[in-house]
Amino acid sequence: MQNMVKLEVISNMKHQGGSEMKGNYEQMTQWVEELKNPIGNLMGRLELHQEDIALDCYHHLWENCQDLDDNVNRLVQLIRMYAGDVLPCWEFVLLTDTLEYALREKEELGRRKGVAVRSEYLRGDYKIWTDGRMLQDLVEQMLHHVIQYAERGNTIRLGFQIRSEHLVLWVENEGQGFSFIPHLLYTTGNSRKAGIGLGTRMELCRCLAFSLGGELSEEYAGRGGIRVGLRLPIVRA
C-alpha cells in the first residue's frame, strides 16, 4: 500500500511542472489540430481517385497520409501531457493481457513490413498496479518504432521480467535494421530516418514512462539490432 501511494504522489508531482502551460495548451492543441484538415482532405481525394492511381502509388500515398495524421495525434497528446492534463488512472491490471492487446494492435504493421513480431515471456496471472491504457499505449509506441525502422526479415521480440519491485520490459530487433546512432531514438536528429515521426513517437514513450514513474533505456542488441527498454516501479496484487 505504501508503494501505491508513493507511485501516485510521484506521478502527480511530475505533472505539476506543466501547470504553467494549462492556460494556453488548448490554443496550441487547436493550432496543431488545424493540420488535420488538409490531411483529411488529401485522404478523401485519394479515395475518390483511387481507380485513377497505380495501386502501389496509392498505398504509398495513403500510408504517408496516415503517418502524418498519427504525427499530429501524437503532438496533441504530447501537448496535453506537457500541460499536466493527462494523469494515470491507477488500478490493478493483468500485465500479460495488456501486452497481448498491444501485440495484436501491431500485427498488421509487422506483416506490411515483412517482419516477425514475437513475445518471449511466460503467460501468467501477473497483476500490477498501473494505468493499463497508458501502459498499453506505451508498449504499442515502442513496438511501432522498432517495427517501423526494421528491415524485412527481421524478428522483433517483446519480453519482460519482474525484478523485485520493478517491471523490466523490452522490445528488441536482432537484425540489421538500425543504421543510425541509437541516441537518435530520443531526438528528431539529422539522420535520414530520424524525422519528426521518430522524435514525437519516442518523446511520447518517454512522457508515458515518466507519468508511470518509470524510464526508458536504449542499447545495442545482438547482430546490429537495438533494444528499447522500459523500467517501471510496480506493486504486485
User: Given this model, what pLDDT does residue 198 score?
Assistant: 58
Closest among 89, 111, 116 to 173, alpha carbons compared:
116
User: Given this model, what pLDDT does residue 96 score?
Assistant: 94
**Averaged pLDDT of the chain:** 79
The length of the chain, given as a count of residues: 237
Task: Please give the distance of CA 169 from its chain centroid, rounded to a whole number.
Answer: 13
User: Given this model, what pLDDT does residue 176 score?
Assistant: 56
Tens of pLDDT, residues 169-192: 999 987 654 444 344 444 434 333
User: Given this model, what pLDDT does residue 144 score?
Assistant: 92
d(CA 167, CA 214): 9
User: Which of 23 and 195 is assigned the larger pLDDT?
Assistant: 23
DSSP bridge pairs for 118: 157
